[in-house]
Amino acid sequence: GLKKKEVNVLCLGLDNSGKTTIINQLKPTNAQAQDIVPTIGFSIEKFKTSSLSFTVFDMSGQGRYRNLWEHYYKEGQAIIFVIDSSDKLRMVVAKEELDTLLNHPDIKHRRIPILFFANKMDLRDALSSVKVSQLLCLENIKDKPWHICASNAVQGEGLQEGVDWLQEQIA
Ligand code: GTP
Ligand code: MG
């Protein structure tokens, strides 16, 4: 058969936002982990869509590991940035990390697509994706294609829409 195009994706966002849960849901059922634990450092994962073969750098979001992110920026051809929509207290921290990412020399001048997941939409006090988008000032991102989806990674809701968008940007 045809060989799928290979794409490196960076999965970024604060600890506990749901990055590993999202990536796990995108893998075939027989490759999914049953128990998800906080990521130490990072983990390399793979999943496929109809036309692409993704290699994901699933980074730890813990403060002490966030300095690892930038070492992979050069290799990344797309970014998945995950936000815990119910974590209002740390929305400003998520914005700081996003702004640092967007201003990094290895990211700043590249038209790299960014897919945002406003995750944990199932929680009672979750903010809408529109509100998350406003708090992160996403409308200020003018030089990169971006898209935000509300998601519930535990149930797998909202993930396909996001991945379809990402595939369109790259294919
Ligand atoms: P680090 O690896 O520490 O950076 O965290 P992470 O972003 O990979 O988060 P992880 O996927 O480990 O999920 C953290 C916790 O949030 C787990 O208990 C998940 O089950 C839970 N979780 C993830 N997504 C959702 C969601 O959409 N809704 C709810 N209610 N819980 C979620
Ligand atoms: Mg993780």
Give the distance (Å) from ligand 2 centre to CA of residue 81: 12
Give the distance (Å) from ligand 2 centre to CA of residue 109: 28
ipTM of the complex: 0.99
Cβ 36 under 6 angstroms from ligand 1:
yes
Check pLDDT > 90 for residue 130. Answer: yes
The predicted model gives 73-87 an average pLDDT of 98
The predicted model gives 64-93 an average pLDDT of 98
Mean pLDDT of the chain: 97
How sure is the predictor about 80, in pLDDT bands with cuts at 50, 70 and 90?
A: very high
| pLDDT computed for residue 7 by the predictor | 98
Cβ 169 under 6 angstroms from ligand 1:
no
Which residues in 42-151 belong to E strands, given as ranges? 42-48, 52-59, 78-84, 114-119, 146-150
167 in catalytic set: no
Catalytic residue, chosen from 25, 32, 34, 62, is 62
| pLDDT computed for residue 1 by the predictor | 64
Check pLDDT > 80 for residue 151. Answer: yes
Q: Are 42 and 60 within 8 A, CB to CB?
A: yes
Give the distance (Å) from ligand 2 centre to CA of residue 6: 22
Task: Single out the residue of 109, 131, 108, 136 nearest to residue 121, CA to CA.
Answer: 131
Whether CATH 3.10.150.10 fits 1-77+84-92: no
The predicted model gives 133-161 an average pLDDT of 98
Cβ 158 under 6 angstroms from ligand 1:
no
Check pLDDT > 80 for residue 104. Answer: yes
Q: Name, in order, each residue with C-beta under 8 angstroms of 132's C-beta and a sequence gap of 6 or more.
A: 83, 85, 91, 116, 118, 148
pLDDT in tens, 13-58: 999 999 999 999 999 999 999 999 999 999 999 999 999 999 999 9
92, two tokens: 């400003």
